A and B are shown apart, each in its own frame.
Chain A
Amino acid sequence: MKLSRAIRTAIIEATPISELLGKYSGSPGVFTRRPVPEGALYPLVIVPSENAGASDEDGLRSFRPVLQKDVLVYGEQPDQYRLVDDLADALFVLFHRQKRSISVEGFHVIDIVARRPIQAPTSDAKRVGRLVPLTIRLQDLAG
Chain B
Amino acid sequence: MPVKWNGDEVMAKVRAGAMRGVMRGTERVHDLATRKIMDPPKTGKKWPGLPNQSSAPGESPATQSGRLQQSGQTVYDNANLSGQAQWTSAHALPLEVGTEDIDARPFARPALAESVDGIREDVAEEIRKALA
Tell me, yes or no, whether A binds B.
Answer: yes
Point out residues on A near B: beta carbons under 8 Å. Answer: 34-36, 44, 46, 48, 50, 52-55, 66, 68, 70, 72, 74, 120-124, 127, 129, 131
Main secondary structure, interface of A, reads strand
Q: Which of B58, B94, B98, B113 has its CB near the most chain A CB atoms (within 10 A)?
A: B98
Bound Cα distance from A120 to B101, whole angstroms: 12
A35→B113 contact, CB < 8 A: no
B113 — which chain A residues lie within 8 A by C-beta? Answer: 53-55, 66, 68
Point out residues on B near A: beta carbons under 8 Å. Answer: 57-58, 93-94, 96-104, 106, 109-110, 112-114, 116-117
Bound Cα distance from A29 to B13, whole angstroms: 54
Quick one: which of B57, B101, B109 contacts A123, CB cutoff 8 A? Answer: B101
- Total cross-chain contacts (CB, 8 A): 68
A48→B109 contact, CB < 8 A: no
Quick one: which of A50, A53, A54 contacts B103, CB cutoff 8 A? Answer: A50
A53→B104 contact, CB < 8 A: no
21 A-B pairs, CB-CB below 8 angstroms? A34-B98, A34-B100, A35-B100, A36-B101, A48-B103, A48-B104, A50-B104, A52-B96, A52-B97, A53-B106, A53-B110, A55-B114, A55-B117, A121-B93, A121-B94, A121-B98, A121-B99, A127-B100, A129-B99, A129-B100, A131-B97
Q: Nearest Cβ distance between residue A110 and chain B, in whole angstroms? A: 16
A54→B102 contact, CB < 8 A: no
Q: Nearest Cβ distance between residue A135 and chain B, in whole angstroms? A: 10
B101 — which chain A residues lie within 8 A by C-beta? Answer: 34-36, 123-124
A74 — which chain B residues lie within 8 A by C-beta? Answer: 100
